[in-house]
Amino acid sequence: MTINQAIARIDDLRDNSMTADIKIMHLEAVDRQVYEEIIKGREGAEAVDFPTYTDNDGEKTLLVPSPYDMLYVYRLESEICYTLQEIDRQANALTRYNELMDSFARKYAREHQALPHAPVIYY
């Protein structure tokens, strides 16, 4: 999923006034978390660039692939719901986000061995 696709998907699913640059900031935060907590310290990490996104990076592919990539949409939805003080909806979106993040982390850990010098994180 690209940055533009994630933004378009949440905009289709939910009316919101969040600007694209704020959405990009949240998407970058997700990818930084994925990089720091899941990818870094595992085989193949050197092939992954540390994520930094700007308004001109709409066609960049986000780090988490399908079928887990809806986590980006759920994260954006949770931020929108938080802003609108829709706490129950925010909690639902965060639950789905966390489920997908956990599933991706476990899959990534199974497929990429930890480097010898890296701390082991169990999922």
pLDDT tens for 72-113 read 999 999 999 999 999 999 999 999 999 999 999 999 999 999
The residue among 10 and 121 whose pLDDT is bigger is 10
Based on C-alpha coordinates, what's the Rg of the chain?
Answer: 15
pLDDT, position 123: 60
In degrees, rounded to 5, the angle at the alpha carbon of residue 76 between the alpha carbons of residues 31 and 11 is 125
pLDDT, position 120: 59
pLDDT tops 80 at residue 122: no
Site of tokens 């476990």: 106
pLDDT, position 119: 60
Measured distance CA(58)–CA(95) in Å, rounded: 26
Return the percentage of the chain with pLDDT > 70, whole number: 95
Contact, 33 vs 93, CB < 8 A?
Answer: no
**Residue 115's pLDDT band (boundaries 50, 70, 90)?**
confident
Measured distance CA(112)–CA(38) in Å, rounded: 10
pLDDT, position 118: 58
Dihedral through CA 111, CA 57, CA 25, CA 9, nearest 10? -80
Is the model's pTM score more than 0.75?
yes
Q: What is the DSSP string of 36-105?
A: IIIITTBTTGGGSPPP---TT-TTPBPSSPTTSTHHHHHHHHHHHHHHTT-HHHHHHHHHHHHHHHHHHH
User: Once rounded to an integer, what is the mean pLDDT over residues 68-75?
Assistant: 98
